[in-house]
Structure 1
Amino acid sequence: MRPSGLVSEVPRLDATDHLCWVYDDDASFDQAVERFLSGGLARGERLLCVGDEVVDRMRGDAAPIPGVPALVASGALDMLTVADAYQAAGEFTPERQFEFYEKRTRQAIDDGYTGLRVVAELSALAADTGRRAELVRWEHVADGFMASGSGMTAMCAYRGDLPADALADVASVHPLVRAPDGTPSFRVFFDEDRVVVAGDVDTFGADRLAALLASSPVGPERAVLDLGPVEFVDVAAARVLARWARALQARSVAVEIRGASPLFGRMWRVLGLGDLVPVTFGQRAG
């Protein structure tokens, strides 16, 4: 099982981890970047910093880690502003971003590094309501890429003064989150062959859950949804899950739900969802 949950400090991350770090000020941001990048150097990973804020600080007199010029000269560290990243990857879409980071990760491994460690400060994209949906979809696709054992690990940083809905959107697609209390109420991420939902899912988050599930890559024949880490799910959320399963079944994709509580199993039956959407319940369903 991938590490997941709410954290108060940057944990020791392995090659499949994906952390959302909501920061309060420059000092706390620098501390998080130092711990994250130092961990990558210790693991023999190539470092990549993306975003105007983090690049400015890495190039400043008080960079979060020592020896930045030497790291850049050796190829152990690369830095891209948002404009540079767009120029390198093309128009911002999840598909183009995937191609860009897959190539960067493969190149790092081919060059003898153990993987690619990325810190990306993307507050400007999260604040842009016209681009936020694509950003969230990319974060979700990226999580699947990291969970697959690609060799890429990432810390995605966002300012704490962003609107609450923006923070909830971006944080909800990370297994590991440092964010204000109550943000997000639930998370959707990947672990091996399954989509995992964790936290509390209710009417207020039903639309967000529907959007995330719709963008979740699944196998061509079978999808597994793990509700083991869910603490609460209401009727609206159950109906979202049923609609997602029905859409997959229309594509001849079988759906298995694992880890559902006995209460969820009873609610599924009482609502008649099992008659509309025949799914397989794994361990713990009642």
Structure 2
Amino acid sequence: MRGLGVHDHVCWCFDTRAEFRARAAEFLADGLRAGQRVLYIAGGEPGALAAELRQVRGWDDALTSGAAGVASVEGTYTARAVVDPAQQVVTYAQLTEQALAEGFRGLRLAADATSLVRTADQVEAFARYEHLVDSYMASAPLSALCAYDRTELGQARIEQIACMHPIANSGAAAFRVHAGGRPGCAATVSGNVDAASVKLWTHALRWARPRPDSDDRLVLDAAGLEFISHRGLLELAEYARQRGGSVVLHDGPSSAARLTEVLGLSGVRVDPVRRRPRDGLRRAPDSERTR
């Protein structure tokens, strides 16, 4: 989990606590080297959490100086809590601004959020939060590794959360809906929206709530969208129609352009395609982030 930037937002699904600790250690060590304040959030007592990352070079000194911190999920959230999406973003924005005011280059956090997405209500609120905080990260020096235990949650729930991140480990989600940052685009969509994932696609649109522009067009950056089924297009057109607009898939796949013609979807337009290479980590192109 190395080499990520000051705006990156990662979903990492793990199978053991040891795997999570290893990825978090890499991610936070990079942050310390980059001059960011880092925060480790997981289940357990703060003293035990601090000891979990002692393999990170300079970790004890960072804890003493305030460059690093730990927080217990149990001490931060009540049991079976449903987060307030907007307020949660405000909390991390304030922590980011505080880090900047104290001379750091930003804030980087690694959090095991498994306990916050166990119920359907929790998932809906947290998925909305993930999209809102991704929008904040697009222009602010906040980066996050959001970790979820696959053995506790199961693949279906993992997909519900992973699809709201620009970056996820392989197999976590078939598609992603995230903030991006490309000028003129309400959101970014990438991956594959096929028959098996179209129900989740409908939920993801509702959680993200991208809005049409002043010309009543819902413009989506689709450069990373490899495929969208006819049902996916119909759901997208209906979403835009309910909000009084049409849909533009900017740099969308040619197959989507053909489908819109076959289906007669006058409210959907696919702009010329400019494909971008994708890697196994499902990373958002740098141009999608405002630096």
TM over 0.5: yes
* Pairing partner for 2:265 from 270, 273, 280: 273
Letter in 2 for 1:207: K
Is structure 2 residue 145 aligned with structure 1 residue 152?
Answer: no
Greater CA deviation, 122-131 or 66-75?
66-75
Deviations along 1:210-235, one digit per CA (max 9) or x if unpaired, are: 22223244475254212222222111
Q: CA deviation at 1:44?
A: 0.4
SS in 2 for 1:199: strand
Q: CA deviation at 1:169?
A: 0.8
Is structure 2 residue 200 aligned with structure 1 residue 201?
Answer: no
Is structure 2 residue 21 aligned with structure 1 residue 30?
Answer: yes
Letter in 2 for 1:186: F
Contact 1:57 1:63 in 2 (8 A): no
In the alignment, which residue of structure 2 is the partner of 1:11?
2
Letter in 1 for 2:172: T
Aligned-residue RMSD, C-alpha = 2.5
Is structure 2 residue 282 aligned with structure 1 residue 282?
Answer: no
The verdict on how the C-alpha distance between 1:210 and 1:112 changes in structure 2, with shifts beyond 3 A counting, is same
Q: CA deviation at 1:127?
A: 2.3
**Within 5 Å, which residues of 2 pair with 1:130-279?**
130-147=121-138, 149-161=139-151, 162-179=153-170, 182-193=171-182, 194=185, 195-214=187-206, 215-218=208-211, 221=214, 223-248=218-243, 250=244, 255-274=247-266, 277=267, 279=268
SS in 2 for 1:130: helix
Structure 1 gap ranges (5+): 1-9
Structure 2 gap ranges (5+): 275-291
Deviations along 1:119-149, one digit per CA (max 9) or x if unpaired, are: 11111112233311111111121111112x2
Q: CA deviation at 1:79?
A: 1.9
In the alignment, which residue of structure 2 is the partner of 1:4?
none
Q: Within 1, Cα distance between the matches of 2:158 and 2:44?
A: 18
Contact 1:20 1:174 in 2 (8 A): yes
Is structure 2 residue 38 aligned with structure 1 residue 47?
Answer: yes
Structure 1 length-normalised TM? 0.83
The verdict on how the C-alpha distance between 1:280 and 1:237 changes in structure 2, with shifts beyond 3 A counting, is closer
Q: Within 2, Cα distance between the matches of 1:70 and 1:230?
A: 44
Q: Within 1, Cα distance between the matches of 2:45 and 2:203?
A: 29
In the alignment, which residue of structure 2 is the partner of 1:7?
none
Give the number of equivalent residue pairs.
265
Letter in 2 for 1:77: A
Contact 2:41 2:73 in 1 (8 A): yes
